[in-house]
Amino acid sequence: MIVVVRPKHVKRLTPPATMRPMIALGIDPGTATCGFGVVALEDGRLRLVDAGCVRTEATETDAQRLRQIHEALTGLIEQHRPDRVGIERLFFQRNVQTAMTVGQARGIALLVAAQHGLRIDEPTPNEVKQAVCGNGAADKAQVATMVERLLGVSMADATDDATDALAIAIGCCYRAAAEPRVATA
Protein backbone atom coordinates (compact mmCIF):
# COMPACT_ATOMS: atom_id res chain seq x y z
CA MET A 1 0.00 0.00 0.00
CA ILE A 2 1.34 3.43 -0.95
CA VAL A 3 0.75 6.21 1.55
CA VAL A 4 1.47 9.75 0.42
CA VAL A 5 1.51 12.11 3.38
CA ARG A 6 1.36 15.87 2.84
CA PRO A 7 1.57 18.61 5.47
CA LYS A 8 -1.89 20.07 6.18
CA HIS A 9 -1.12 23.48 4.68
CA VAL A 10 0.14 22.17 1.33
CA LYS A 11 -2.37 22.59 -1.43
CA ARG A 12 -1.42 21.31 -4.83
CA LEU A 13 -1.38 24.27 -7.19
CA THR A 14 -1.80 24.38 -10.93
CA PRO A 15 0.37 26.97 -12.68
CA PRO A 16 -1.38 29.66 -14.74
CA ALA A 17 -2.05 28.54 -18.32
CA THR A 18 -0.47 31.65 -19.85
CA MET A 19 3.15 30.96 -18.92
CA ARG A 20 4.59 27.75 -17.56
CA PRO A 21 7.16 28.22 -14.77
CA MET A 22 10.28 26.09 -14.41
CA ILE A 23 9.26 23.21 -12.14
CA ALA A 24 11.66 21.08 -10.10
CA LEU A 25 10.94 17.89 -8.19
CA GLY A 26 13.27 17.26 -5.26
CA ILE A 27 13.59 13.75 -3.85
CA ASP A 28 15.06 12.77 -0.49
CA PRO A 29 15.34 9.01 -1.10
CA GLY A 30 14.48 6.37 1.44
CA THR A 31 12.75 3.01 1.40
CA ALA A 32 10.51 3.50 4.46
CA THR A 33 9.99 7.23 3.85
CA CYS A 34 10.83 8.97 0.59
CA GLY A 35 10.44 12.74 0.78
CA PHE A 36 9.31 14.77 -2.22
CA GLY A 37 9.01 18.48 -2.88
CA VAL A 38 7.84 20.29 -5.97
CA VAL A 39 8.85 23.91 -6.43
CA ALA A 40 8.17 26.33 -9.27
CA LEU A 41 10.43 29.21 -10.28
CA GLU A 42 8.50 31.93 -12.04
CA ASP A 43 9.68 35.47 -12.72
CA GLY A 44 12.55 34.97 -10.26
CA ARG A 45 10.24 33.89 -7.44
CA LEU A 46 9.99 30.47 -5.82
CA ARG A 47 6.59 28.93 -5.16
CA LEU A 48 5.65 25.75 -3.30
CA VAL A 49 3.62 23.45 -5.54
CA ASP A 50 3.50 20.20 -3.55
CA ALA A 51 5.39 18.38 -0.80
CA GLY A 52 5.12 15.30 1.34
CA CYS A 53 6.37 11.77 1.81
CA VAL A 54 5.82 8.40 0.23
CA ARG A 55 5.67 5.81 3.00
CA THR A 56 5.89 2.07 2.60
CA GLU A 57 5.11 -0.66 5.09
CA ALA A 58 8.00 -2.43 6.82
CA THR A 59 6.08 -5.71 6.60
CA GLU A 60 6.34 -5.74 2.80
CA THR A 61 9.27 -7.14 0.83
CA ASP A 62 12.00 -4.85 -0.48
CA ALA A 63 10.78 -5.51 -4.02
CA GLN A 64 7.23 -4.48 -3.13
CA ARG A 65 8.41 -1.33 -1.38
CA LEU A 66 10.62 -0.32 -4.31
CA ARG A 67 7.77 -0.94 -6.76
CA GLN A 68 5.53 1.31 -4.66
CA ILE A 69 8.15 4.08 -4.64
CA HIS A 70 8.46 3.70 -8.42
CA GLU A 71 4.68 4.01 -8.85
CA ALA A 72 4.41 7.00 -6.51
CA LEU A 73 7.30 8.91 -8.14
CA THR A 74 5.93 8.12 -11.60
CA GLY A 75 2.58 9.54 -10.49
CA LEU A 76 4.20 12.71 -9.14
CA ILE A 77 6.13 13.26 -12.38
CA GLU A 78 3.03 12.69 -14.50
CA GLN A 79 0.98 15.02 -12.30
CA HIS A 80 3.45 17.92 -11.99
CA ARG A 81 5.51 17.48 -15.18
CA PRO A 82 8.77 18.85 -13.77
CA ASP A 83 11.53 20.18 -16.01
CA ARG A 84 14.19 18.61 -13.82
CA VAL A 85 14.55 16.32 -10.85
CA GLY A 86 17.00 16.61 -7.97
CA ILE A 87 17.90 13.39 -6.17
CA GLU A 88 20.13 13.72 -3.15
CA ARG A 89 23.39 11.86 -3.55
CA LEU A 90 24.28 9.37 -0.85
CA PHE A 91 27.29 11.05 0.70
CA PHE A 92 28.16 9.10 3.83
CA GLN A 93 26.42 6.54 5.97
CA ARG A 94 27.80 4.86 9.06
CA ASN A 95 25.18 2.13 8.93
CA VAL A 96 25.80 -0.10 5.90
CA GLN A 97 22.25 -1.49 5.95
CA THR A 98 20.78 2.04 5.85
CA ALA A 99 23.13 3.00 3.03
CA MET A 100 22.00 -0.03 1.02
CA THR A 101 18.29 0.71 1.36
CA VAL A 102 18.72 4.42 0.66
CA GLY A 103 20.83 3.51 -2.37
CA GLN A 104 18.07 1.23 -3.65
CA ALA A 105 15.44 3.97 -3.31
CA ARG A 106 17.83 6.45 -4.94
CA GLY A 107 18.28 4.04 -7.86
CA ILE A 108 14.50 3.84 -8.32
CA ALA A 109 14.26 7.65 -8.32
CA LEU A 110 17.05 7.90 -10.93
CA LEU A 111 15.30 5.28 -13.05
CA VAL A 112 11.92 7.04 -12.96
CA ALA A 113 13.49 10.40 -13.90
CA ALA A 114 15.47 8.79 -16.73
CA GLN A 115 12.37 6.97 -18.02
CA HIS A 116 10.69 10.36 -18.36
CA GLY A 117 13.70 11.94 -20.07
CA LEU A 118 14.17 14.54 -17.34
CA ARG A 119 17.28 16.50 -16.48
CA ILE A 120 18.71 15.05 -13.26
CA ASP A 121 20.68 16.94 -10.61
CA GLU A 122 22.49 14.86 -7.98
CA PRO A 123 23.60 17.20 -5.20
CA THR A 124 25.31 16.06 -2.03
CA PRO A 125 23.69 17.06 1.27
CA ASN A 126 26.36 19.76 1.72
CA GLU A 127 25.62 21.18 -1.76
CA VAL A 128 21.91 21.37 -0.91
CA LYS A 129 22.69 23.20 2.35
CA GLN A 130 25.04 25.57 0.51
CA ALA A 131 22.39 26.36 -2.12
CA VAL A 132 19.61 27.03 0.38
CA CYS A 133 21.48 28.44 3.40
CA GLY A 134 24.75 29.67 1.93
CA ASN A 135 26.53 27.32 4.35
CA GLY A 136 27.30 23.70 3.54
CA ALA A 137 27.52 22.88 7.25
CA ALA A 138 24.02 24.18 8.11
CA ASP A 139 21.94 22.02 10.43
CA LYS A 140 18.41 20.73 9.75
CA ALA A 141 16.78 23.59 11.66
CA GLN A 142 18.63 26.18 9.56
CA VAL A 143 17.62 24.41 6.34
CA ALA A 144 13.97 24.28 7.46
CA THR A 145 14.01 27.97 8.36
CA MET A 146 15.43 28.94 4.97
CA VAL A 147 12.94 26.72 3.11
CA GLU A 148 10.13 28.49 4.99
CA ARG A 149 11.54 31.92 4.17
CA LEU A 150 12.28 31.19 0.52
CA LEU A 151 8.84 29.67 -0.12
CA GLY A 152 6.90 31.93 2.25
CA VAL A 153 5.21 29.01 4.02
CA SER A 154 5.30 27.37 7.43
CA MET A 155 6.89 23.93 7.51
CA ALA A 156 5.86 23.32 11.14
CA ASP A 157 3.85 20.19 10.36
CA ALA A 158 6.12 18.91 7.58
CA THR A 159 8.49 15.98 8.04
CA ASP A 160 12.25 16.43 7.75
CA ASP A 161 12.10 14.30 4.58
CA ALA A 162 9.62 16.66 2.88
CA THR A 163 11.57 19.73 4.00
CA ASP A 164 14.83 18.24 2.72
CA ALA A 165 13.18 17.39 -0.60
CA LEU A 166 11.96 20.99 -0.93
CA ALA A 167 15.50 22.20 -0.26
CA ILE A 168 16.74 19.88 -3.04
CA ALA A 169 14.08 21.26 -5.41
CA ILE A 170 15.04 24.85 -4.53
CA GLY A 171 18.67 24.05 -5.34
CA CYS A 172 17.53 22.64 -8.71
CA CYS A 173 15.65 25.85 -9.45
CA TYR A 174 18.70 27.95 -8.62
CA ARG A 175 20.90 25.74 -10.80
CA ALA A 176 18.45 25.99 -13.70
CA ALA A 177 18.22 29.77 -13.34
CA ALA A 178 22.01 30.08 -13.49
CA GLU A 179 22.47 27.89 -16.57
CA PRO A 180 21.42 30.38 -19.28
CA ARG A 181 23.75 33.04 -17.88
CA VAL A 182 26.65 30.60 -17.85
CA ALA A 183 25.86 29.33 -21.36
CA THR A 184 25.70 32.82 -22.91
CA ALA A 185 28.71 34.30 -21.14
Residue 121 a catalytic site member: no
Residues 59 and 57: their CA atoms lie apart, in Å, by 5
Q: Contact, 13 vs 33, CB < 8 A? A: no
Active site residue 88: yes
- 83 catalytic? Reply is no
The answer to whether the CB of 155 falls within 8 A of the CB of 13 is no
Could you say which of 83, 88, 121, 164 is catalytic?
A: 88
Which of 28, 50, 127, 164 is flagged as catalytic? Answer: 28
Q: Nearest 5 degrees, angle CA 133-CA 140-CA 43?
A: 40
**Cβ proximity of 172 and 85 under 8 Å:** yes
What DSSP element (H or E) covers 54?
strand 45-55
SS3 of 86-105: the string is EECCCCCCCCHHHHHHHHHH
Is 2:71 a contact under the CB 8 Å cutoff? yes
> Of residues 50, 83, 161, 164, which has the active-site annotation?
161
**Could you give the residue numbers annotated as active site?**
28, 88, 161
